[in-house]
Every structure is written in structure tokens, then in C-alpha cells.
């Protein structure tokens, strides 16, 4: 249902959506316009469906009061489209929601053509199993930064199934994942332009740039809004951009924010999720954890449903959800001003993070590959892997380190940062290529002589009309000679 928008304030827009929801079974709300830059009075949502009237603007956003975020130096009002999808006034979104922040008709048409290319000519290459994480410096103190880094690594290892390939680019010079100060900006953007399932930034942010890192020539931002012009994401595998940072989604500002510029760029990500104001470490971690769980566990059909459920999860008191947050809640004393306001902090972050792009985008949901092996194998021996594939095609079967184990490996001594960085992100220790048919194929995978411990066996299969992947665990035991 396409509805023309008259020049009415946010109160009127929200009322129209609630009326339409009573008349029709609505599931999605798509706002196809930028936020209002000529706003004079800000409409404030009180969680009861009532909005303070504002002067007329073109599809303005709403402003949700914040009580916890100001304790961390943030504003008292959060720019948020959430009230447009809250049908019962309880403060939680009831519909999948997204904003395509186009300034005009041609810009909107160009973006929609990209969406159609993404859905109608899908990429089935190995890029479809890739997720790229980029981390800035925390700056919360040595102890807190170390804890946050450890939690982030575990969050990635636990949240992303072993079948997927993860790269990490970290701004700390002491990290194995540091590509070098002068190369950092270009490496981070190449990861984005390389395509994949998602590109996820974790760190500090501003409306038109991400955090800066020190270089021999002075500080340089990890990314800026101007970088949108050089992005070259493949149309068929443009990733979702996730900015777990402050302000990167501040779309109500006079100038287009970083998330807007990236999404609307011809070579940009297919959509973005970003915060409109100050975001806090605990709220960011809880939202990011929920987003990964929705992406890989619940596997909703569309991008809008995935982000909607991730936001609902922040406000859920379901026992299973609460249990899943236990580790983060235990660390909340270090990450949050007060452990007594965690529920309120999560609710504010549910309003804070916005989806920029088409919420109807269908997410790639590859079928699973079955993998059967022995429970263990001796280092230096051959591991028999029975691959049960739902499609015929070219298979890559690998033996790989778990991400948490890989993060503890010592860096290559005396090697330049670029080489250390490349080695840190290559977690596969053995690889075989094979042709597989539908059904069972036996592949033999060598276990390196110096391998040991629990490892991942993973497979990716590329067919002419689809792709599939899967993983399992195996223990590599020390060889008899080594003992």
C-alpha cells in the first residue's frame, strides 16, 4: 500500500499509520524521504501515543525522551522513527520499520534499482559467507578496554556460526588485527567494498565520520561521509552496514549523516543500521548481540523483520532472552553508569538504532550442508569428511581455528603490520576443493602436524543457482611422534 504524505507533523503521521493499521493488516512501514531539516518545534513521544504538536515538516522524525543516556553525556531527546511503528503506545515497535532517506525522486529511484539488482541477481560466491568487523579504540581505560575486547571476541565467536568467514580489523597497534596506522582507513573501506553479508563497525562515531586513529601524519578518521563516493560494493552482494557507534545515524541534522551517505551511494551498502545519538557500551553490546542472534538463529525473511526483532529483544523479559544477556548484564557495572537502570538503557537503545534502507529486502538464507567426521583426528593424519549437500557445485572444505583460539595465537615476529594482519585473519589451517553432487561426497582433509585442540570443519558450496554452507567441530589430538 503506497500512501502519499501530506505536509503534516509527526503527530499526524503517527495517527495516520495507526488508523491504517486498524483498517489493514500492516506488517511494514517504509518512510521514503529524508528527515526534516527545517523543523522548528520537535514532536516529543511520551510512549502513550500522544505527540506534542510541531510545525509542519516533510516526514519529520519523532523525539523520544531519554533518562539514562544523558548520564553518559548524551542528549535528553533521541531522534527516532519508532513511534511510527508503535501501534499501542507501549514504547515498543509493533511493525518492521525502515527509512530510505532520499532527498528527491531520482535519488529514491536509484536506490530502489540497487535493491532490485541485489534481489534479482544474487551472488552465490564465497563472499556470501563473509562478515567484516572493524573496531575502533574504546578509550574507557586499560581494564575496561581489555574486557570489552574480550567480550567482543566471544560475542563474535558465539554469535556467528562456524560456517561463516569473519575478518577483524582493530585500531589498537598492539592487536594482531591491526593492519598499520597509515593503511587502516583504506583496509576498512576495502572490507566494505569487497561485499559480503555484513560490515560491522564497533567504536566511537560522529554524525559524518567514525573515530580517528593516530598516524605519522596526524589523526585520520576510519571513515567519513565523503568516503561514500569511493565505495564500490558489488550490486549483487552489497553488505548490510552496521554502525555500533554514536551519532552515525543522526539523520535529522542539517547535513546528511554518514549512514545516509553510505546507503545512498551508488557503491554503498544495501542498507545500514545506526544510532542517531550517543550510544552506550552496554546498550550497544546488547543490541549487537541481539542482531546476530536474529540474523543467524531466528533467520527472518526480511531485513526489516530482523532489525525489528532485535529491537524488541532489547525490551523482552522472556526467560530465554534474559538468560542470553547474563554475561553482558554481569559486566554492566563496568559498561554502564548504573546497573539499576539496565532495562531503561536497553529501551532507549531500541529507539536509538534506526534502519536506513528498504525493510522489505529479502535476506539470503542458504540451505545447510551436513558434515560428518570422526570426533577426533591425530595431527598429521587425514580427516575423512562426509559432505551431504542439498545442491551440486564446487565445494571448499576447510579445517579452521575457532575465532577465540585464533585471537590468542602469537603474532608473527618481526613481520610488518600488513603481513601480521593478513595472517591473523586467515584462520583456515587446511583446505580442499572438490566437486560435489546432491547427496553424499567424501572429502579427505589433512590435519596439520602442528595443529591441536578443538577446531571447526566448515564447507561452502557454490552452485549455478544457489549456495549452501555448514560446519561441525572436531578435536585434533597431538601426534604420537610429538608425544
Sign (positive or negative) of CA dihedral 36, 41, 46, 49: negative
Could you give the count of Cα atoms lying within 13 Å of 452 in the half-sphere of its Cβ?
8
Tell me how far apart the alpha carbons of residues 379 and 476 are, in angstroms, rounded to a whole number: 6
Pseudo-torsion of CA 135, 141, 144, 149, nearest 10°? 20
- Of 458, 471, 462, 469, which Cα lies nearest the Cα of 393? 462
Tell me how far apart the alpha carbons of residues 391 and 371 are, in angstroms, rounded to a whole number: 14
Tell me how far apart the alpha carbons of residues 457 and 388 are, in angstroms, rounded to a whole number: 13
Q: Contact, 47 vs 89, CB < 8 A?
A: yes
* Confidence tier at 158 by pLDDT (50, 70, 90): confident
Angstrom distances, CA of residue 38 to CA of 41, 55, 57, 194, 253: 9, 10, 7, 37, 10
Tell me how far apart the alpha carbons of residues 98 and 358 are, in angstroms, rounded to a whole number: 6
How large a percentage of the chain has pLDDT more than 70? 86
For residue 174, how many other CB atoms are within 10 A of its CB? 7
Could you give the count of Cα atoms lying within 13 Å of 51 in the half-sphere of its Cβ?
27
Question: How many helices and strands, by DSSP H and E, does the chain display?
Answer: 13, 20
What domains can be seen in the chain, in order of their start residue?
10-96 (no CATH), 99-356 (3.40.50.1460), 370-477 (2.60.40.1930)
279-312 pLDDT, tens digit each: 988 899 899 999 999 999 888 899 999 999 999 9
Which of 54-68, 137-151, 330-344, 363-377: highest mean pLDDT?
363-377
Q: Contact, 18 vs 24, CB < 8 A?
A: no
Tell me how far apart the alpha carbons of residues 188 and 179 are, in angstroms, rounded to a whole number: 9
- Cα of first residue to Cα of last residue in the chain, in angstroms, is 70
- Of 257, 262, 296, 122, which Cα lies nearest the Cα of 192? 262
When the pLDDT of each residue in the chain is averaged and rounded to a whole number, the result is: 87
β pairing state of 271-275 and 240-244:
parallel
Residue 263 confidence (pLDDT): 98
Q: Which residues pair with 444 in a beta bridge?
A: 384
Helix (H) or strand (E) segment spanning residue 389: strand 382-389
Q: What is the mean pLDDT of residues 392-412?
A: 83
Q: Contact, 158 vs 404, CB < 8 A?
A: no
Gyration radius (Cα) of the chain, Å: 23
102-142 pLDDT, tens digit each: 988 899 999 999 999 999 877 899 999 999 999 998 766 56
Q: Dmax of the chain from CA atoms?
A: 80
414-465 pLDDT, tens digit each: 778 889 999 999 999 999 999 999 999 999 999 999 888 999 999 999 999 8
Helix (H) or strand (E) segment spanning residue 286: helix 281-293
Q: Which residues pair with 100 in a beta bridge?
A: 32
Residue 57 confidence (pLDDT): 39
Q: Which residues pair with 221 in a beta bridge?
A: 212
32-91 pLDDT, tens digit each: 988 864 443 444 444 443 333 333 336 889 999 999 999 888 899 999 999 999 998 888
**284 Cβ partners below 8 Å, 6+ apart?**
202, 244, 245, 275, 349
How far out from the chain centre does Cα 404 lie?
A: 19
- Is the pTM higher than 0.75? The answer reads yes
Q: Contact, 271 vs 356, CB < 8 A?
A: yes
Amino acid at each position: 500500500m503506497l500512501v502519499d504524505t501530506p505536509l503534516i507533523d509527526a503527530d499526524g503521521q503517527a495517527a495516520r499509520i495507526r488508523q491504517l493499521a486498524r483498517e489493514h493488516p500492516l506488517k511494514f512501514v517504509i518512510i521514503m524521504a529524508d528527515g526534516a531539516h527545517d523543523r522548528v518545534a520537535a514532536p516529543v513521544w511520551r510512549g502513550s501515543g500522544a505527540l506534542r504538536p510541531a510545525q509542519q515538516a516533510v516526514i519529520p522524525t519523532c523525539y523520544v525522551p531519554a533518562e539514562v543516556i544523558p548520564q553518559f553525556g548524551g542528549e535528553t531527546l533521541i531522534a527516532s522513527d519508532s513511534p511510527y511503528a508503535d501501534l499501542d503506545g507501549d514504547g515498543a515497535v509493533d511493525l518492521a520499520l525502515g527509512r530510505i532517506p532520499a532527498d528527491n525522486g531520482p535519488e529514491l529511484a536509484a536506490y530502489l534499482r540497487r535493491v532490485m539488482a541485489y534481489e534479482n541477481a544474487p551472488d552465490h560466491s564465497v563472499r556470501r559467507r563473509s562478515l567484516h568487523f572493524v573496531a575502533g579504540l574504546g578509550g574507557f581505560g586499560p581494564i575496561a578496554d581489555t574486557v570489552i575486547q574480550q567480550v567482543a571476541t566471544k560475542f563474535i565467536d558465539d554469535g556467528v556460526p562456524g560456517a561463516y568467514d569473519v575478518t577483524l580489523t582493530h585500531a589498537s597497534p598492539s592487536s594482531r588485527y591491526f593492519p598499520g596506522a597509515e593503511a587502516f582507513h583504506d583496509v576498512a573501506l576495502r572490507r566494505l567494498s569487497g561485499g559480503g553479508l555484513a560490515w560491522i563497525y564497533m567504536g566511537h562515531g560522529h554524525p559524518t565520520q567514525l573515530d580517528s586513529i593516530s598516524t605519522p601524519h596526524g589523526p585520520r578518521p576510519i571513515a567519513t561521509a565523503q568516503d561514500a563516493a569511493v565505495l564500490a560494493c558489488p550490486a549483487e552482494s552489497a553488505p548490510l552496514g552496521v554502525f555500533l557507534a554514536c551519532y552515525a545515524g543522526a539523520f535529522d541534522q542539517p547535513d546528511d549523516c554518514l549512514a545516509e551517505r553510505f546507503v545512498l551511494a551508488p557503491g554503498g551498502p544495501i542498507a545500514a543500521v545506526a544510532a542517531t545519538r550517543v550510544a552506550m557500551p552496554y546498550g550497544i553490546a546488547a543490541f549487537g548481540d541481539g542482531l546476530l542472534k536474529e540474523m543467524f538463529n531466528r533467520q527472518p525473511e526480511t531485513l526489516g523483520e530482523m532489525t525489528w526483532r532485535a529491537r524488541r529483544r532489547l525490551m523482552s523479559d522472556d526467560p530465554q532472552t534474559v538468560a542470553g544477556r547474563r554475561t553482558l548484564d554481569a559486566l554492566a557495572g563496568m559498561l554502564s553508569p548504573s546497573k539499576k537502570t539496565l532495562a531503561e538503557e536497553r529501551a532507549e537503545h531500541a529507539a536509538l538504532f534506526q534502519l536506513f534502507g528498504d525493510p522489505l529486502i529479502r535476506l539470503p538464507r542458504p540451505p545447510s550442508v551436513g558434515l560428518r567426521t570422526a570426533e577426533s583426528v591425530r595431527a598429521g593424519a587425514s580427516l575423512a569428511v562426509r559432505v551431504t549437500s542439498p545442491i551440486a557445485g564446487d565445494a571448499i572444505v576447510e579445517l579452521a581455528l575457532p575465532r577465540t583460539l585464533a585471537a590468542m595465537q602469537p603474532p608473527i615476529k618481526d613481520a610488518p603490520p600488513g603481513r601480521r594482519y593478513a595472517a591473523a585473519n586467515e584462520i583456515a589451517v587446511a583446505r580442499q576443493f572438490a566437486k560435489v553432487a546432491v547427496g553424499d561426497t567424501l572429502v579427505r582433509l589433512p590435519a596439520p602436524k602442528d595443529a591441536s585442540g578443538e577446531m571447526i570443519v566448515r564447507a561452502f558450496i557454490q552452485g549455478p543457482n544457489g549456495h549452501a554452507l555448514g560446519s561441525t567441530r572436531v578435536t585434533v589430538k597431538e601426534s604420537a611422534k610429538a608425544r
